[in-house]
Amino acid sequence: MDCCPLDSRPIPARQAGTPDEPRFEPGSDPVIELYKQHVDRTLLVENLRHTHDERARRMQAFLRALDSLRGHARGGREEGPE
């Protein structure tokens, strides 16, 4: 694991419920609730069972595959039709 010295300053403890600390209240925004009905929660639950590293590696692999596909698509367009 490559690491470097992180910010060594003490980090004040979060105080949930203070005006500065948002508390998530489900159903507080009817527009968001409407959008929420279309969220695939099975995928979220699966992701929550993974570590940060696993989530990051999956996203990185997806983005690299997407970039590779875009590269192939660009190459195909530059070659043009037979």
**Where along the sequence are the contacts to another protein (CB under 8 A)?**
1-7, 9, 11-14, 21-24, 26, 31-33, 35-36, 38-41, 43-45, 47-53, 55-57, 59-60, 62-64, 66-67
Q: Return all residues near 16 (Cβ < 8 A) that are at least 6 apart.
A: 23
Shortest gap between Cβ of 71 and another protein (angstroms)?
A: 10
Which residue's CB is nearer to another protein, number 51 or number 80?
51
Helix (H) or strand (E) holding 78: helix 52-79
CB 35 within 8 A of CB 41: no
Which residue's CB is nearer to another protein, number 47 or number 74?
47
